[in-house]
Amino acid sequence: MAIKSTIFKAKLGIADMDRPYYGEHQLTLARHPSETDERLMVRLLAFALFADEHLEFGRGISADDEPALWLRDYSGDVRLWIEVGLPDERLLRKACGRADAVVVLAYGGRQIDAWWAKDGPAMARLDKLRVLALDSEQSTSLATLAERSMELQCTIQDSQIWLTDGPNTVAIEPRKLLG
């Protein structure tokens, strides 16, 4: 019998002074059996960074033809394609062909530098691509906030992010690799 996804519920308040965007979202996240709390929370962070009433979680790990998150318009055209982790350059090239903009929120510690050294030059030719990187300490700290039922507040100002559940706060400042 196959192991089923674990369902997480999050009430996420967002105060993004950089865009400006202010909103409250009731989110349901399915964590694939092979997904870690760290990846789940990076997906949640990606939602907070690009929040929109039409932004949706894709099937992600279980589907190669869908991103971790995407924003589609009413006609079904993909406006924003968001990947988390260290995706293959060919996948990103394909995504750039399908979407108006593509963002990668990279995490994985020292593996980011090796991934960027290998695929960065090819990715730099993709004019629709933007790549942000989280250091290992930031992404693992995010994982400590993971709960089956979460109430989180995200504040974004001057490219700095604070995600809190009340007693615990994680400060994040993504490093811009491209875009």
pLDDT (tens digit per residue) in 14-71: 999 999 999 999 999 999 899 999 999 999 999 999 999 999 999 866 667 799 999 9
pLDDT tier at 9, thresholds 50, 70, 90: very high
Domain boundaries, the chain: 6-178
Provide CATH code, domain 6-178.
3.10.640.10
Q: Across all residues in the chain, what is the average pLDDT?
A: 95
* Confidence at residue 62, expressed as pLDDT on a 0 to 100 scale: 61
The dihedral sign for the CA sequence 12, 162, 34, 116: positive
Q: Over range 85-113, report the average pLDDT.
A: 96
pTM score of the predicted model: 0.95
* Confidence at residue 2, expressed as pLDDT on a 0 to 100 scale: 67
At a CB cut-off of 8 Å and minimum separation 6, what does 96 contact? 102, 126, 127, 128, 129
